[in-house]
Amino acid sequence: MKWGVLAALILLLLGAAWLSGWPGAGAPKNGGDNQAATSASDGAGSPDSENMPSEMERRVNEMLARMSLNERISQLLIVDLDALGREQAGESAIARLQALQPGGVVLFRKNLPDARQTITQNRELQQAARIPLWIGIDEEGGPVTRLSFANDGNGNMAIAASGDTALAAETAHQISGTLEKLEFNLNFAPVADVNSNANNPVIGLRSFGSDPEAVGAYVQSFISGMHQSGMPAVVKHFPGHGDTATDSHAGLPKLSFAEERFEEVEWVPFRAAIEAGADMIMSAHIQAPKLEPSAVRSKKDGSLIALPATLSPHILTGILREKLNFRGAIVTDALNMKAISDHFGSDEAAVLALQAGADVLLMPPQPDAAAAGIRKAIDEGKLSAERIEESVRRILRIKLKYGVIKPQGRQQPLETEKAIHSAEQFLSSAESHQLADRIASQAITPWGTKLDAYRNQAFIQPEMKVITVIGHEERSLEQVRRAIEAAASSLRIGAGRLEFTSLLLPDDKLAAVVQSSDAIVLVARDIYVQPEAAGKMKEALKLALDSKKPAAVIAAGTPYDMAALSEAPVGFAIYGVTASNVRAGARALFHDTLPPGKLPVVLPKQGE
């Protein structure tokens, strides 16, 4: 036998041996027509298939050749466990997972009580899958975290207030390291929305700010931190959710801007993300009639609505894929959100999203119905098998790139007890807490009418005896009060003498309490969008000022409360109520130098 022929035969046998070790490589188990792969490259993917290593593309072709059409359809779905259980009552989530064989699952706080159960569950989920799963999570840091047993870190706006883009990469690296220890392989982050609307009810602290270029720089840094940790980046929510006044979890927002405005603001961070190698981009459930004028009938009430971006061919294919030249996978936002589920059936939304150009369907409310609807659409000629293959190719490429699917002979995972011990050790280390505290301290942003007086003088003075903390929300009020007490104790200020009290508004004793106090600390949390709470807090501030009492404000939510309480002599925006945010805000009251944070958003003018 000639040496060249022998070499080719060896390569062929090695390839077959590798493939036989790949979950899902056997005969189809969920029905459907087994279809061979077609072209080796479709001109799109992550990484771009034109530059795809031939070995990786060969693996994609081999996998596709062994997948039935139904298996390919299932790869498009990332499901939540509750939906699996609801659709087929009486069956366990694992049994439903084995039957449907989706491409991934997404887990939430209620699924994740501690490190032990998280790792054990994640391994059970993977063992039920013939093709390795995405095990996804929303772990943005700060206000959006799912791990109650891990450090919450800081939200994106706090990171941006620090003025240091490198801290975004450090945060992403820390989060990714935690997730890797817990055996997650997909994190839906970072947020690339430009929060230019102070009334935005859903983005807020999750955004890096209101300056598009600055947001883009922080997004790129965050992506680099994820990639350094071996985690794909899922950038959200295209074409931009930062200027909406409606939460798409509860309704269907609308942005009526012309394309020029999107180019100048909303798309700047997404272009930056694409340049940085974003692996996936998540769509937003918003109406943008100047981008997608097509109207459809809502199943909710029969009214005409603009086709949401998630279901829009012009936005996902025409703009994101063709205009912005994105070559990764497009993933929908959760399809069980009311912005979609109120107006479209589960099967209808799945088909429309694929027709629009989406590759991954996140959390369809009825996963089986979605899969069946896609198959029916193919049988009826509304979708092509080639269109499904195009998306599956992108998914498999990313799974291969990040080691979700591994070749035969891969290093075996740690024995379960060792993996749990390793994760628990990692979580108990001081590293993540130190990073969170460092960011929180750098982020604290001062403001006030008498700011100069506090540049060399602490707000809480040694001679004070009674400090009253006043707020409109019990949780943030008590968090801040306890943090101030702890700061006083650790700094050894007023030991055995300084008294801290709290008062929750409204309270008839407000005037008397103010009079009996040596200083007032007001705790506001998003009163800018709560007119009633804003009125109560303004009244308390005025009472303190009229009584000649020293008064300070802790803005514990978005920094827009700085505009609502602009008459405060001194105030500190802390960008959230995670432990590090609150701790840094409390300590700022005792410092005789002002913290260094810079406001990352433009405050609305009075009356806006």
Active site residues: 333
Q: Residue 191 corresponds to which tokens in the numbers above?
A: 């947020």
Q: Do residues 23 and 131 touch, judged by C-beta distance below 8 A?
A: yes
Q: How far apart are CA 484 and CA 488, in angstroms?
A: 6
Q: Which H or E run contains 280?
A: strand 280-283
Burial of 535 (0-12, 13-18, 19+ CB in 10 A): middle
Nearest to 305 by CA among 319, 316, 289: 289
Which uninterrupted H or E stretch holds 400?
helix 385-401
Q: In whole angstroms, what is the distance from residue 349 CA to residue 346 CA?
A: 5
Task: Report the C-alpha gap between 68 and 29 in whole angstroms.
Answer: 9
Q: Are 266 and 242 in contact (CB under 8 A)?
A: yes
Could you write out the three-class secondary structure of 513-539?
HHHCCCEEEEEECCHHHCHHHHHHHHH
C-alpha closest to that of 197 among 286, 314, 308: 286
Closest CA to 327 of 48, 549, 36: 48
What span, in angstroms and rounded, lies between the C-alpha atoms of 538 and 544? 10
Q: Tell me how far apart the alpha carbons of residues 364 and 340 are, in angstroms, rounded to a whole number.
A: 10
What would the DSSP string read from start to end of 179-218? HHHTT--EE---B------TT-SSSGGGS--S-HHHHHHH
Amino acid (one-letter) located at 207: S
